[in-house]
Amino acid sequence: MVLELIKPGTNINFLKYRKLAYLLSGALVLAGLISLAVKGGPRFGVDFSGGLSIQVRFAKVIDVKTIASAVDEVGLQNVVVQRYGQDDANEFLIRASDHEVNQETVRAGVEAALAKNLPDSGYSVQRLEMVGPKVGADLRGKALEAIFYSVLLIAIYISGRFEHRWMAAAIMAAGLSGGIYLLKLAGASTVWMIVAAMVITLVLCFVMRLKYALGAVVADLHDILVTVAIFSLLDKEFDLTIVAALLTILGYSLNDTIIIYDRIREHLRGAGKQNMPFADLINQSVNETLSRTILTAGTTLITVTCLYFLGGPVIHDFALAMLIGILAGTYSSIFVASPILLDLGSGLTPRPKAPAVPGQAAAKA
């Protein structure tokens, strides 16, 4: 027995709302980009920016300014104090840009300052992390490369799986490698190389008529950009756990997209469906897989929501990124990946030539 939340024969016209969906996604991504520009880029955690981070828990309610004043005498550089986790947890992160300091010395200095200035606060130092600036920069570059190569492998896999064009996918990968090599020779930074590589991937997918790969790549980029945009608007940190969440989101979104693409391919091969308008065929495929999409997203959301509220402050931001990504991935599979096959994919398919009329051929002769 198959569990179905959506009745068979349901025919919701999803493509009717695709332009509104494009506008909504574009507005959200644009707001995130403006937020990043105003803030001078993402707010990197210690993993990426370097420096030290001290997590402190207090037994009593206390505010950020009081903690900052209390640890001021330690002499740390560019000290920033922020709340960590839920408000009722009374946990805070004390961040500083110091690199060449001894961890035990810093811990002892912070504990002494808190004991002197906040004797009745019931503080306890939970952890202390320190990362050098060179290591932080390397980690940023490796994180961007991991995301890019994931998207590239997705494009290659989709091209071979749905269009049986492994050679075209290999040519695309070779062309992309050549583009990256030239950018390295030009001395481009890692960030700009990755951005350029993403653009080259999209252009190659379009030029080589890899329409399914193009839809999947755009949907995956959409999910990443939406997650980054919301994190920037919420002023959340980006660290290695968030990169892990983004890579997980890529896989989740791809799985949902493949389910719909598989059904579209089945209909294209099915008897009596070849003459159906492509828009109707896409709508029918999305409706037929809607029950599975809702069940998959719903069960995953329940698990991640439990992690968000019950997992503790260490996993809080990871769970938040997963919540955003699952919602964005489900949305993009229906309103981004599938409509792109219609809006861009139809332009990628060569039109059949009209049969020659004998009279016209004779006249030309």
| DSSP labels, 123-144 | -EEEEEEEE-HHHHHHHHHHHH
Q: How many CB atoms lie within 10 A of CB 256?
A: 24
Q: Which position has the token pair 């949902």?
A: 256
Amino acid at 224: I
**% of the chain beyond a pLDDT of 70:** 88
Average pLDDT of the segment spanning 101-106: 81
Q: Quote the pLDDT of residue 30.
A: 95
pTM of the shown model: 0.79
Q: Quote the pLDDT of residue 211.
A: 85
Whole-angstrom distance, CA of residue 193 vs CA of residue 187: 9
Q: Is the pLDDT of residue 263 over 60?
A: yes
Q: Is the pLDDT of residue 1 over 60?
A: no
Closest CA to 217 of 66, 345, 89, 317: 345
Q: Look at the alpha carbons of 307, 311, 313, 315 in this order and tell me if their dihedral is positive or negative.
A: negative
Structure tokens at 123: 């503080």
Helix (H, G, I), strand (E, B) or coil at 102: coil
Q: b/e string for 197-216 if b means 16 or more Cβ within 10 A?
A: bbebbbebbeebbbbbbbbb
**% of the chain beyond a pLDDT of 90:** 17
**Burial class of residue 97 in the structure, from the number of CB atoms within 10 Å of its CB (0-12 exposed, 13-18 middle, 19+ buried):** middle
Q: How confident is residue 274, by pLDDT bands cut at 50, 70 and 90?
A: low
For 125-210, where are the alpha helices, taking DSSP H only?
133-163, 166-185, 190-207
pLDDT digits (tens, 9 = 90+) for 119-177: 888 888 888 888 776 677 777 778 877 887 887 788 888 888 777 778 888 887 787 77
Domains detected in the chain: 14-41+135-348 (1.20.1640.10), 51-131 (3.30.70.3400)
Average pLDDT of the segment spanning 175-193: 76
Whole-angstrom distance, CA of residue 216 vs CA of residue 158: 8
Average pLDDT of the segment spanning 277-299: 88
